[in-house]
Every structure is written in C-alpha cells, then in structure tokens.
Amino acid sequence: MAQVRPRNGNGRISFPNFFEQWLAEQNQHLESLVSASKENEQQLESGRAVTQQELDGRILSPLIERVIQHYEQYYGTKSNGAKEDILSMFNPSWRSSLEDAFLWIGGWRPSMAFHLLYSKSGLQVEAKLMELIQGLTTGDLGDLSADQLEKVNELQKETVRAEKELTEKLAKKQESVADSSMVELSHVATELIRGGEEAVEDGRVDAALDPKKQALVEILQKADDLRLKTLKKVLQILTPIQSVHFLIAAAELHLRFHEWGKKRDERNREVAEVGVEPRNS
C-alpha cells in the first residue's frame, strides 16, 4: 500500500521526514525477509513435494523485487532533494555523528557491500559447519560456489575502480574552493569589511558557488547510482535465498548502526546540556 509522505511548507517532500518513514518501511521489509527465510527453510524441511524453484517464484523473488524498489525509491527521492539542497546531503541532519564518520559522498561506500557479503558468509559457514563437512548444501551465503566467488571478486574490482574515479572527482571540486574566482571574491569582501562597508552581496556569492554546488549534485548522483548498481549486481550473482540473507544483513546493519548513533548523540547532548553522566543503553 502506498505511504503518505510528510511534506514541507512548499508542499514538497521533506527529505528528513521521508528518511525516517523510509527507515520504518525498511524495518517492515526486514521482518518480511526474515519471515520468508524461515518459511523457505520450513517448506524444504517439511518433506512436501515443493522445489526451491517453486519457493523462489512464489515467495522470495517477489519480495526481493519489492525491497529493490524500496531502495530505488530512496535514491530517487534523494536525487530530487539534492537538486534542492545539495549541501544538506553532504551534512545530513537526519543521520547520527557515528554514521557521518563513515559516509562516502553522502552515503555508504559501495565496496562495503562486499565486506558485508564476506562477513555474513563467514558467519553462516561457522554456524552450519557440520552440514558443510558432511557435504550438505545450506543454501545461504555460507554456500557460495566457486563461480559466484569469482564473479563477486570481479565486481568488487570494478566497483573499487569506480569509487576511486568519483573520489578523485570530488577532490578536484573541493580544491576549486580556492580557485581564482573565490580568492578574488573573498579578498573584495574582506576589503569592504575593513572599509566599514557592507560585505559582498549574497547574489555574487551565490553566482560563484552555484557551479560548484551543481558539480556536487552530479557527483552525488553518480555515487548513488554506483551504490544502487552495486547492490543489484551483487543480488544478480546470488540465488534468491542467498539474496534474502544478504538483504537481511544489509538492513540489520543499516538500522542498528543508525540506532546506535542516535543513542550516542542523545547521551552526548545530555552531558553537554545538563552536565550529567551519560546513561548506559
């Protein structure tokens, strides 16, 4: 069912409010993914005449598609928000300081998807080591084939190269803050202030900054495109049940990291405002 989106005074979607509602929906998807994983396992263990292919088509694939659409909705709304206020996307008030410390161009680093995959795979190998020793298949991320691992490795190399290109582009745009136009404008503004006159009007400042802000919009959109493309390509390598396990791990990490960061920020505010010791959580 379509969700009603909170809007700002201009009738447009308020991205901070959208983000909080999107998180709530992600939590709902997480519960659906966990339920689907359990149902998949129960159906296969029940001895009924049901194949993995039937379960994929009836339960898993439609759910995976809904989760992908949810991510697409997020990046689409974020792209629109970036066009209106790109600076807030690089300093998001809706994220915690913990999350801020690990952001790459306004979001998670695409190559993190591979570390997540390998970490979850290792944990699931440990959890079902006896089955694997006996030659049984687990179906989850602990059961990645050699062909899958090779494809993941190639995709990781491709993603890291793309990340490096975008990082270099961002560095060049950040360096442009000290180009001749900005240096001249800052000098003129300083001389006016020293002479007791009003500072340079906002229009001249905006004119100098607008091209730089537009460049940031383009870089952010390319970074988000890479994030979404990486996610989709990883899922294409995995089987539907493996994709479900991967999406569960991704949602759990995102939701808990956000939650931990918010709690820590709240404790720090209590210390700063009241001078009390932070509560344990």
Q: What is the pLDDT of residues 135-190, one digit of tens each?
A: 555 568 888 899 999 999 999 999 999 999 999 999 999 999 999 989 998 998 88
H or E stretch covering 89: helix 86-90
Q: What single string gives the DSSP state of each residue in 162-204?
A: HHHHHHHHHHHHHHGGGSHHHHHHHHHHHHHHHTTPPPPPHHH
Share of the chain above pLDDT 70, in %: 86
Could you tell me if residue 157 is inside a domain?
Answer: yes
Q: How far apart are CA 58 and CA 54, in angstroms?
A: 6
Could you tell me if residue 261 is inside a domain?
Answer: yes
Q: Which residues contact residue 117 at a Cβ distance below 8 angstroms, ignoring those fewer than 6 apart?
A: 141, 152, 234, 246
Q: Which residues contact residue 237 at a Cβ distance below 8 angstroms, ignoring those fewer than 6 apart?
A: 148, 151, 152, 155
Biggest CA-to-CA distance, the chain: 88
Q: How far apart are CA 136 and CA 134, in angstroms?
A: 6
As a whole number, the mean pLDDT across the chain is: 87
Q: How far apart are CA 11 and CA 91, in angstroms?
A: 23
Total domains present in the chain: 1
Could you tell me if residue 10 is inside a domain?
Answer: no
User: Residue 132 pLDDT more than 60?
Assistant: no
pTM of the model: 0.86
Question: Tokens 């079902």 appear where?
Answer: 128
pLDDT one-digit tens code per residue, 20-61: 999 999 999 999 999 999 988 887 777 665 677 887 888 899
CB atoms within 10 A of CB 131: 14
Q: How far apart are CA 156 and CA 160, in angstroms?
A: 6
Could you tell me if residue 220 is inside a domain?
Answer: yes
Could you tell me if residue 8 is inside a domain?
Answer: no
Q: Which of 76, 85, 59, 96 is nearest to 262 (CA)?
A: 96
Could you tell me if residue 279 is inside a domain?
Answer: no
User: Residue 278 pLDDT more than 60?
Assistant: no
- What domain range is 264 assigned to? 15-268
Question: Are residues 148 and 237 in contact, defined by beta-carbon separation less than 8 angstroms?
Answer: yes
User: Residue 10 pLDDT more than 70?
Assistant: no
